[in-house]
């Protein structure tokens, strides 16, 4: 009997342990993926903590998966996939196909979205069984450890920017320079925006410039962030990657007329925005949910074209617990990626 290994937690906020499992066979419309890399996203904590309805234990998180198709279930070959194809699976781990958003063709807001680690075991393991509609083809030249983070952190920032109302030449600010923001700045620059990086502390200025940002705003400098943005002409869009409601709120008055605040950083605290701040200049506040498998594919193609890569720290699957804690602690400056799954 062949087996494979996963890193799982058996109780809410438990320690990751490596266990052997029996090799699963892909069902109809599914593939088995040999996992080469899996990024660790802050959202994995939602599952590990058991904080979301429907999360069951033992829990195997991981929705920044990159690997190779190893086995095809029934009906998969007809849909253009073959053994050996390099694929990524992200937050969009498949949709139900029958809810109202799906019937409208808006799959990313599917009411029964199949997020890996929630709907099925995620990428903290050597194998993953995934539905075929979750698969995004990895372009040649993009390493698995770079492709994984593109399937959540990458697509969320890339899509958030390309679906915003900003056009090339417009001033666009990226709030936060962490796992999401460091990609957001690179995408914004490559899309032709006059790009502002916003973060805490003067020491991040060099990093923002290194990512290609044209301007840097230090939110701790004493000058309000909104004022700093207005002195640059006002932002057509702010991509809020920092999961901090106070920091997000502080950017609103920095938006230009008809400017758009695109929220992708998660926080449960309320935003402190008054209707008046939105009304007079026709500003828009919008939540942005990740992207579909096609969006992930677009993100990876754009990244390959422009030489955009996530900054990653690689840790073997055996040390999943250590890597996860480092992500939680905020001490991981960049994306933690499990490798050698």
Binding site for Zn ion (CB under 5 A): 41, 43, 95-96, 99, 102, 110, 152
Q: How far is the CB of 100 from Zn ion (least distance, A)?
A: 8
Nearest approach in angstroms of CB 167 to Zn ion is 28
- In the bound state with Zn ion, the residue whose beta carbon lies nearer, of 35 and 41, is 41
Phi, psi of 40 (to 5 degrees): -105, 120
- CB closer to Zn ion, 93 vs 341: 93
Nearer to Zn ion, 249 or 303 (CB): 303
Comparing CA positions, the residue from 174, 225, 172, 176 lying closest to residue 199 is 176
Q: How far is the CB of 296 from Zn ion (least distance, A)?
A: 12
Closer CB to Zn ion, 84 or 105, in the complex: 105
CA distances from 192 to 67, 174, 182, 217 (A): 32, 14, 16, 19
Q: What is the DSSP string of 228-291?
A: HHHHTT-EEEEEE-SS-HHHHHTTGGGEEEEEEEEE-S--SSPP---HHHHHTTT-EEEE----
Looking at the Cβ atoms of 30 and 241, the one nearer to Zn ion is 241
Q: Which of 120, 107, 2 is nearest to 65 (CA)?
A: 120
As to burial, measured by CB atoms within 10 angstroms (0-12 exposed, 13-18 middle, 19+ buried), residue 106 is: middle
As measured in angstroms, the least distance from the Cβ of 183 to Zn ion is 12
Q: Which residue has the tokens 């990512």?
A: 211
Nearest distance from residue 101's CB to Zn ion, in Å?
Answer: 6
Closer to Zn ion by Cβ: residue 65 or 256: 65
CA-wise closest residue to 207 among 171, 242, 169, 178? 178
- Shortest Å, Cβ 43 to Zn ion: 4
């Amino acid at each position: 009997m062949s087996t494979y290994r996963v890193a799982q937690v058996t109780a809410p906020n438990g320690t990751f342990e490596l266990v052997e499992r029996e090799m699963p066979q892909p069902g109809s419309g599914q593939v088995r993926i040999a996992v080469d890399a899996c990024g660790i996203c802050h959202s994995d904590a939602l599952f590990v903590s058991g904080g979301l309805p429907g999360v069951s234990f033992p829990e195997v998180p991981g929705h920044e998966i990159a690997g190779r198709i190893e086995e095809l279930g029934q009906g998969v070959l007809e849909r253009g996939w073959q053994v050996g194809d390099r694929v990524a699976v992200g937050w969009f781990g498949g949709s139900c196909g029958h809810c109202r958003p799906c019937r409208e063709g808006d799959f990313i807001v599917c009411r029964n979205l199949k997020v890996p680690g929630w709907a099925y075991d995620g990428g903290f393991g050597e194998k993953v069984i995934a539905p075929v509609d979750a698969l995004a083809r990895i372009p040649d030249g993009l390493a698995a450890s770079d492709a994984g983070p593109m399937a959540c952190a990458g697509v969320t920032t890339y899509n958030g920017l390309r679906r915003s109302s900003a056009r090339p030449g417009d001033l666009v600010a990226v709030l936060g320079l962490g796992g999401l923001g460091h990609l957001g700045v690179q995408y914004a620059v490559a899309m032709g925006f006059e790009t502002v990086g916003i973060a805490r502390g003067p020491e991040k200025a060099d990093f923002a410039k290194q990512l290609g940002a044209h301007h840097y705003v230090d939110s701790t400098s004493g000058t309000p962030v909104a004022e700093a943005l207005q002195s640059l002409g006002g932002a057509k869009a702010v991509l809020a990657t920092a999961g901090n409601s106070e920091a997000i709120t502080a950017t609103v008055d920095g938006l230009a007329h008809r400017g758009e605040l695109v929220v992708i950083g998660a926080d449960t605290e309320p935003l402190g925005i008054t209707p008046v701040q939105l009304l007079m200049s026709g500003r828009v506040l919008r939540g942005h949910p990740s992207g579909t498998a096609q969006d992930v594919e677009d993100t990876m193609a754009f990244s390959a074209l422009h030489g955009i890569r996530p900054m990653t720290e690689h840790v073997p699957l055996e040390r999943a617990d250590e890597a996860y804690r480092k992500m939680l602690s905020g001490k991981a400056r960049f994306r933690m990626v499990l490798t050698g799954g």
